[in-house]
Every structure is written in C-alpha cells, then in structure tokens.
Structure 1
Amino acid sequence: MPLKSLEYFESLVKQDDSIPLFETALAIAQDVYPQLDLEACELEIDTLALKLQQRLPADASHIQKLRTLNHFFFKEMAFAGNVNNYYDPDNSYLHRVLATRRGIPISLAIVYMELGLQIGLSMKGVSFPGHFLMKLTVQSGDIVLDPMDGASLSREELEERLEPYLEQQDYGDELPLGAYLRAAHPREILARMLRNLKAIFLDAQRWQRVLDVQERLVILLPDEITERRDRGLAYANLAYPQEALDDLEAYLNLRPDAEDAPELERRLPRLRADSGR
C-alpha cells in the first residue's frame, strides 16, 4: 500500500475531537482502489445533500428533516442492505456503496449520517451488538433507526435484538439497554468497519488484504497491542520475518501471560532464523 495513503489516514484520525467520519471511512477503500478520487466522492455526497436541503423549508423541525432524509435515502435513492452478497468487501467501501446503493448497516449508516449532518441533523452511530444502528436525539427522547431500511425501532424490538447476544455472552448481571445505545465515537465506528473487513479477509486467507487493514488498525488504535499482534501474524504469513518479529515480540513483552503467548513463542525461533537473527 502506498505510504502516502496511510499518512493521509493517520492525519485524519490524529485528533480525537475532530475525526471526519465520512472522509476517513471513504479513505479506507484506497487499499483496494488506489486510484480512487476522494474529492469526487465527497462532491457526490455534497451534491446529494444540497438536493435534499433544497426540499426543506427554512424552519424545518428535526422530525421533518428526518422524514425527508428517510424518504430520499431509502425510497428515491433506493439505498438498501446487500442481503444477497453481504460479505462482499465492497459493502465496506463507501464509493462502491454510493455507486451501487448497496451496503451493510455500518457503511449505509455512515453515508446516511453524513447527509443528515449536512442538513443539520446530529445523527450518532450506535455500535449495537451484531447490527450497527443510528440514533437522533429529539426533545421527546432518542429515535433509534436501522440503517438497512430506516425503520424506527421500539424499546421492545431493541431488547429482542439484544437477547441472543446476552445469552451468548452468558452475562450474570445484564447491563441496561441504554448502555448498548450510547453514541459511538468515530474512532470506534472506524475500528468496527475495519474489523469487519479483517474478518472477511481472514476467512478467505487473503493475507495482503489483512495486512492492509491491520496497518490502519494499528494507526487508529495505537494502544491496542492485539492489533499489532495481528499485524505481526499477517507479516508472518506474507514471509516478512523481521517485521513479524518486531510486532510479535512487542506483543509478548506487554502480554507475557496472554493465552496465546505459548503458541506465539513457538513461532519465534523460525522467524528469527528466517530473518537472519
């Protein structure tokens, strides 16, 4: 991957309080589409937002804006979940989502929230278990939306969606529903997006793609040593022994008692031999 692409990504995520979510998520696609014209994509979303804005009266309420946005996004523009090819990596690349009008919850939400932002709606992403959601806070409370179809979800529906997750996790004391509906920080949203891609590429054993994703995750989450471990494993599978050693030894130095430490320790002698150490 060109270094310039990673440097640009790093510049976007440097400051916690000013990460431009749409622009940064869009840049992730440069791993696979290095010639991607980011400015053209941003112009496209700006043009859609202007078209939407022109339909709204100057005194439009948040509810009016939300209804107009929902109709525009899901009815007119026909954005929807790519249910027939859910695990296609293109579902996570925003320029492809814009072109095909198909995506997964998190990518659809990022496009939807950017349009909302440009018409004065402070939409927030919700990193709900298993299915990314959106919410808008109005005077009467929070409106929680499904990015796949724009449906407003009731408390009962949300609890029903949460139940299988709680059973899987085997929690003794369940957290209140509100704990799962907090607004996600842009850094969290980007990490979830990248980890979705990582899971797809790991499953297909596409190690160069895994490495591309890991480079971004290490930049995005510099304090998450497990992401550096995973980058080291990608390096090892691509036969970059020195780079793999640097990452895996850093992980083991910080997590000598980790559950996977013995297995990783067994890999080190071969990597050292291959690197000439």
Structure 2
Amino acid sequence: MTRDDAETILTEAGEASDGDFPLLEAAIACAVHEEPERDPQSARDLAQAGVERLTQRLSSESPEEALAETLSGDLRLSGDLFTYEDPDNADVVAVAARRKGLPVALGIYYLHVARRCGLVVQGVDFPGHFLLRIETDEGPLALDPFSEGRVVLPSELTRRALHAGLTPNVADRLDRLMAPVPDRAVLIRLQNNIFARAAAVKDFARAERAALRRALLDPKDHRPWLDVAAAREGQGALAGALEALAKATTLDGGAALAARAQRERVRLRLN
C-alpha cells in the first residue's frame, strides 16, 4: 500500500456514515500513510486472532473479563509505560509488532475485536486518557485499554476527571464521563495526538501528514486545514499553506476569522 492508496482509503472512510465507518482499516491506512510500503497484514492478523480467542472465552467468562483477558493476556497488548512518547505507540501496525501503545491505539483493537464477537463497546473521549465503554447485564462499565483492560470504578472516574480539571458538578456525572463517541472521533483523537507531539518537536512534515489525515477523515471540518497550513508554513511551503487556509475558509463559509487573518499574514510573507 502506498501513501496515495492510504489517502484513497481515508477519503472513502471520511465519506462513510458513522455507522459504516471502517475503524480498523482506516487506522491501518493512517499508519501506512505515515510510513508507506509496509505490509499491514500483521495488524489484521492480530485482530483476527483476537476475534477467535474472544469467541472461545465468551462461552465461560463475562464480557468485560473475556475482552480484557483476550486483548491483554492472549494478545499481550498493554500500555507503553517506559517509552510513552515513542511515535510507534500511535501506529496500529507498529503496535501489532510491539504489543504496546497509547490508550487510543490499543482501544482500536479492543473495539474491533469486541464488535466482531457481538459485544457493544464504544470509545469514550475521556479528558486526558482514552477509555472504553462496554454494555453488560449490570449496566455500562468503563475499561482502560492502557491498563490491561481493567474496569475503572465510578469513584476512579470522578477522581481522574477532577485531576483533569473538570469541575466537581461535571466530574460526578457518570453519564457525561462515559458518553460514547463515534469511531471517527476515536481515530481523529489518535491523529490529534500525533499532530500535537510532532508540532511540539517541530517535526512539521509529520505534523502536516497527521493534520491531513484528520481533514480526510472529517471532510466537513475546517479546523484540520488550519493545522495543515501551520505545518506547511513551518516547512516554508507558503503557497501550500495558503491553499490549506483557502480550503478552511471555504469549508466554514468564511466564518473563521482566525483563518482569514492567518491567510493574510502568510500572503504578506510571500510578497
């Protein structure tokens, strides 16, 4: 798969409805887009092995226990505690080889495997730390893919929410803390993570690729194009930055004052 092939897959994913969003394949395309010419089959094989093992476990274990034991025990997926900033932690193909990664990258495997086995599991855009929500006979439970899929108790959710800066009246609202998000938002969160880390170390080429993937995954959102423009400007590609800013302005109907101001500033640099 080439980078162009990956962009085609991401464009098609961006046009899909939330219910038909191909999470694993889109995540694989993101990984290949970042580092082309790799064989992504290892990621698919890992996911399929998870489906087969979870199917067996569900006959004798509760859904939450079976899912955690399958992904963290049988597949050996865990959070990377020691090299957390390693870019491979945000790459699902690299995660398949290393068996460790960021919460959201690991969560993509949890979501894919669980759903193939008929479980109702969704991503939770929890502040500062991605979580999963699994529906059980006793009600919804929060799972932490970074911590071997363990159940996160309500008291712990509240503590984490307060630590993340949420106000007490929000931190006590479990319905809000565990609100599920579409798969598209899950993958965009992963690309946001890549963009932020790349921009922080001034790796503007990597930042541009991550922002472009966000733009393809959510073609109606003008904000990724602002980040594409900033990354291109960081590389000195001012004409390309102007193109991205024009795209942002078109998508939001010209309402983005920041985009127009940024566009004029870049234009002056060209003259």
TM score, norm. by length of structure 1:
0.86
Q: Residues 15 and 249 (structure 1 numbering): CA distance in 2 closer, same or farther, change over 3 Å? A: closer
Match of 2:4 in 1: 3
Shift of 1:38: 3.0
Distance 2:264 2:13 in 1: 35
Unaligned runs of 5+ in 1: none
Give yes or no for the alignment of 1:215 onto 2:212: yes
Equivalent residue for 1:155? 154
Query: What does residue 233 of structure 1 align with?
Result: 230
Q: CA deviation at 1:56?
A: 4.3
Aligned-residue offset at 1:118: 2.2
Q: Secondary structure at the match of 1:228?
A: helix
**In the aligned structure 2, how far is the partner of 1:252 from the partner of 1:7?**
23
Question: What percent of counterpart residues are identical?
Answer: 25
Structure 2 CA distance for partners of 1:80 and 1:19, relative to 1, 3 Å: same
* Separation in 2, partners of 1:237, 1:3: 23
Q: 1:174 aligns with which of 146, 157, 170?
A: 170
Contact between 2:14 and 2:219, CA under 8 Å: does it hold in 1?
Answer: no
- Please report how far the alpha carbon of residue 40 of structure 1 lies from its aligned counterpart in structure 2 after TM superposition: 4.5
Q: 5+ residue gaps in structure 2?
A: none
Q: 1:188: how far off?
A: 0.8
2:256 and 2:53 map into 1 onto residues whose CA distance is: 56
CA-atom RMSD, angstroms? 2.4
For residues 206-231 of structure 1, the C-alpha deviation after alignment (integer angstroms, 9 at most, x for no partner) is 11111111111111222322211111
Larger-gyration structure (1/2) = 1
Q: Structure 2 vs 1, CA of residues 251 and 109 (structure 1 numbering), >3 Å: closer, same or farther? A: closer
Partner residue in 2 for 1:76: 74
8 Å CA contact 1:82–1:103 kept in 2: the answer is yes
State the shift of 1:194 in Å: 0.3
More divergent stretch after superposition (261-270 vs 187-196): 261-270
| CA distance, structure 2, for counterparts of residue 231 and residue 263 of structure 1 | 12
- Mapped partners of 1:250, 1:115: distance in 2: 37
Q: Deviations over 1:125-158 (max 9, x none)?
A: 1110000001111232111111112221121111
Once the two structures are superposed, residues 171-208 of structure 1 have per-residue CA deviations (whole angstroms, 9 ceiling, x without a partner) of 59637331131111011111101000001110111111
CA 101–246 in structure 1, closer or farther in 2 if over 3 Å, else same? same
Tell me how far 1:51 sits from its aligned partner.
3.3
**Letter of the 1:83 counterpart:** L
Q: Which of the residues 125, 128, 138 maps onto 1:127?
A: 125
SS of the aligned residue for 1:113 comes to: helix
Q: Secondary structure at the match of 2:170?
A: coil
Range with greater deviation from structure 2 (29-38 or 179-188)? 29-38
* 2:45 corresponds to 1:43: yes
Q: Show structure 1 runs of 4+ deviating over 4 A.
A: 249-253, 260-264
Query: For residues 9 and 263 of structure 1, what CA distance do their matches in structure 2 show?
Result: 27
Task: Indicate the SS of the match to 2:142.
Answer: strand
Return the alpha-carbon distance in structure 2 between the equivalents of residues 6 and 101 of structure 1.
26
User: In structure 1, what is the equivalent of residue 105 of structure 2?
Assistant: 107
- Partner of 1:134: helix, strand, or coil? strand
Q: Does 1:20 align with 2:22?
A: yes
Aligned partner letter, 2:163? P
Secondary structure, counterpart of 1:148 in structure 2: helix
Question: Are the equivalent residues in 2 in contact too, given 1:13–1:24 (CA < 8 A)?
Answer: no
